Chain A
Amino acid sequence: MKKILFVFCLLLFSALSTGCWNLKEPNQRAFIIGVGMDMAEDKELEISSEIAVPAGLGSSQVTGAGKKNTFTVVSAKGKDFMDAGQHIQTELSRSLFYAHRQTILIGQHMAEEGLGKYLDMVVRNPKSELRSVILVVKDGTAKEVIRADPTFDPFISTTLGSQQNALGMKPFYFRMLLCDAFSEGTQPIVPAITADPARGYVYAGSAILDKDHGLKLIGFLNPEESMYDNWIMGKQKDLTVTTSIGKGNETISLVVQSLKHRIQIKMVKHQPQIHISLHGVGSIVENNSSLDPSKDDDLKTIQRKQSQEVEEKVRNLVGKAQHQYKIDIFGIGERMHKQHPRIWKTLKPHWHESFPELPITVSVHLRYRDPGQTNSSL
């Protein structure tokens, strides 16, 4: 009797421990690869999901014939993320699966309205994915971009992160947006992309979101400006600087690596003075000028000239932030908070007003490690 009971228990538990009733086969799921959020004309949220079509993926590799699409895009309106998800579901025979979402795209209208209130789902939903990269679509809707056919990969969503890598930036994950949005004094700078009918999708710099007003879009930085801003914020890994030099405006290009950045804050009579210093070491990759980098004098000229030019650009960027957008896109407030927590408490309430008045100085030092394979220009 005891043995029978024991065997019965064993069988019961082996059946229970498989968890089969909770099983969902991959062919019952619709894998969401990327998602686009737009604000429709009538102020309703519109979600476009890019869904992988596994059948299309296989056939394109084996034979060219009978090619199916690798993905499909389904859009629906809704009151919030999951409500729209329900409406998307009505068009699909497989249930939506969020855990493979690689990219979140935000349409410009959506960003202008502020996306602060829609952040929750991405973290709360246990089936959701934290490792998505997030981008803002400039001059367009997320819906258009997510439909684009990428060059290398089967899905556009997987390419956007690699594109940021290829541009020398660190990919901007959703987690970083959260950190910035909840921080004391860093305004989130989100990479931007634009849909161009002729060229597909193009990196368009960054979008500035105002975290103190529900993450509303207040403007864009062009690719070059965002490169320098990323440098100041420590989000850039390498960059290429091209300057014209000499009488004939000949050009010389430098790939700068090992970027260093520093924001120093000095308190002078209870007023903060900011100094941004940037350092970079790189190698010359193109030299069309008559200068010879192997000669010390010429090298110094090149270094000085290039540093000056970058310095000028960074100074313009600072001016733009202070006078055009009037927002702290360099994380100076956050730095203030880290270094002078007590003073920051008094500054924080009116940081938006005082930031444009801050005295900010900039210095840039570029050095050469490697002159390249030729001495003077060929």
Chain B
Amino acid sequence: MKLTGSQIFWTVSTVEIIMAVWLRVSPAIETAKQDAWISIIIAGAIGLAITYLVTHVSLLHPGETLTQFSRKLLGGWIGRIVILPYFVAWFLLSGDVLRSFADFIHLTILDRTPIWILMVMILALAVYLTGISGITGIGRFCELAGPVTFITLILTFLLNAMNTKLLHILPIVGDSSWQEVFKASLPPASFFGESFMLLVLLAFISSNKKVLAKALSSVAFTAIMVLLATVMVLLVFGPYVGMELRFSYFMLVRSINILNFIQNVDVLVIFIWIFGVFAKISLYLFITSYEMAQWLHVKNWKKLMWFCAPAIFFIGLLIPNEETILMIQKFWERIVIPICAIAVPLLLWLMTIIKNKNYQKKIKYKT
């Protein structure tokens, strides 16, 4: 199983863009009002820093996934315990995404379909793709779906150009303080910080060349698209309406009306939403199964898919209401990102440096 550099780029951005554009624009506007776009820029910078950290750590251990090198560095037991938060995070995230997806489709198109059927359908597809081809298939899928997503997003922004009112974005940092602007940057930053999945993904790269640049540019690309979406929502709806909308980007698309002719493009946009969710669920299905196989010393990781897929399904099913989804997002922002994206990678980095020094000392003693 191999991934090329461009597949890394498209995988990370496809998986991140859709969710961030769909779910993170309104929360940012809610806190920072018309300055939400500054918050997104700050969030992008935080995301880049996290990505740099995890890519760097991961590249120190070529060909090894997170579980492999943490066990190598920290020893069998501690190495295993350190990985546990990652499993919690990944399972919760995929369950949450699966549920949000089903809820949204239920709300907009298939209102008489039980939610679990929608979840089973997309999960079955994800099992199929992951089971047949593993990470290579997911990478290829993202290479196709990513550009489609990108073009669709840009197109919807352009088609909305007539609806914009530039004045909506003023005054800059007048109503909200810098404090609020920074505070508003945390929710989107937590979504960009999702790039800590690179700790696993980078084990599969075909060559080490320019991987860092590819990883960083994918997060930058995601941040730019979210930035554009935020600016467009602000320009079309203004801050006060924008913050009340649950899916503000979707509403943006629904207000497209060019010459009474180009209307109702929202149907097309649901496609990219499904693409993004599908890529995300497949990817996390792969990551959790593969890492769990490493964790349990099981040779064939595909067997663990039969545990992970139902686990994701039940987590999605058991989420009782919108409040829980918001709580999971809070949990992700307050606990998962600090531990999984910052603390553990830093620890592993430190251990790598210490081990390398010891190793060099040993070589010196020998010579």
Contact = CB atoms under 8 A, between A and B. Distances in A.
| Interface size class of chain A, counting residues whose CB lies under 8 Å from the partner chain | 20 to 34
B322 interface: no
Interface string A207-225: 0000000000000000000
Nearest to A341: B174
A178 interface: yes
B202 to A, nearest CB: 34
Contacts of B264: 99
Contact of B112 (A17, A21, A183, A337): A21
A3 to B, nearest CB: 16
Given A19-B110, A19-B113, A22-B113, A182 B171 contact: no
A275 interface: no
Interface stretch (A123-131, A249-257, A355-363): A123-131
Contacts of B260: 161
A15 to B, nearest CB: 11
B263 A178 contact: no
B241 A182 contact: yes
B79 interface: no
A16 B107 contact: no
Interface string A108-134: 000000000000000100100011000
Given A338-B170, A341-B175, A130 B251 contact: yes
A22 B237 contact: no
Interface string B233-269: 0001110110011000001001101001001100000
Contacts of B109: 19, 22
Contacts of B112: 21-22
B268 to A, nearest CB: 16
B327 interface: no
A126 B260 CA distance: 20
Contacts of A173: 255, 257
B117 interface: yes
B167 interface: yes
Interface in A232-251: none
A178 B241 contact: yes
A342 interface: yes
Given A19-B110, A21-B112, A123-B245, A130 B171 contact: no
B255 A16 contact: no
A175 B168 CA distance: 14
B238 A17 contact: no
Interface residues of B, number: 32
B108 interface: yes
Contact of A13 (B124, B167, B170, B245): B124
A339 interface: yes
Contacts of A9: 124
Interface string A293-311: 0000000000000000000
B290 to A, nearest CB: 24
A11 interface: no
A126 B121 contact: no
A130 B238 contact: no
Contacts of B257: 131, 173
Contact of A126 (B107, B163, B237, B240): B107
Contact of B113 (A13, A21, A123): A21
B113 A175 contact: no
Contact of B111 (A22, A123, A175, A183): A22
Contacts of A19: 109-110, 113
A338 B238 CA distance: 12
Interface in A21-38: 21-22
Given A21-B113, A22-B110, A341-B175, A130 B254 contact: yes
Chain A contact surface mostly: helix
User: Which interface residue of B108, B110, B167, B263 has the most chain A CB atoms within 10 A?
Assistant: B167
Nearest to A16: B121
A341 B171 contact: yes
B237 A175 contact: yes
Contacts of A338: 167, 170-171, 174
Contacts of A13: 121, 124
A173 B110 CA distance: 28
Contacts of A82: none
B255 A130 contact: yes
User: Which interface residue of B236, B254, B263 has the most chain A CB atoms within 10 A?
Assistant: B254
Interface string A2-22: 000000010001001101011
Contact of B121 (A17, A175, A179): A17
Given A16-B117, A179-B241, A338-B167, A126 B108 contact: yes
Interface string B210-247: 00000000000000000000000000111011001100
Contacts of B168: 179
Contacts of B117: 16
A128 to B, nearest CB: 10
Contacts of B175: 337, 341
Given A179-B237, A179-B241, A182-B238, A342 B174 contact: yes
A178 B263 CA distance: 20
A136 B113 CA distance: 39
Interface in B257-296: 257, 260, 263-264
Interface string A141-176: 000000000000000000001000000000001010
B171 A337 contact: yes
Contacts of B241: 175, 178-179, 182
A283 B237 CA distance: 35
A28 to B, nearest CB: 13
Contacts of A334: 167
Contacts of B251: 123, 130
Listed from nearest, the 7 A-B pairs whose CB atoms lie closest are A341-B174, A182-B240, A338-B170, A341-B171, A22-B110, A179-B238, A131-B257
Interface of A: 9, 13, 16-17, 19, 21-22, 99, 123, 126, 130-131, 161, 173, 175, 178-179, 182-183, 334, 337-339, 341-342
21 contacts: A9-B124, A13-B121, A16-B121, A19-B113, A21-B113, A22-B110, A123-B244, A123-B245, A123-B251, A130-B255, A131-B255, A131-B257, A173-B257, A175-B236, A175-B237, A178-B241, A182-B244, A338-B171, A338-B174, A339-B171, A341-B171
Given A179-B168, A179-B240, A182-B240, 6 more contacts: A123-B245, A126-B107, A131-B254, A173-B255, A178-B241, A338-B174
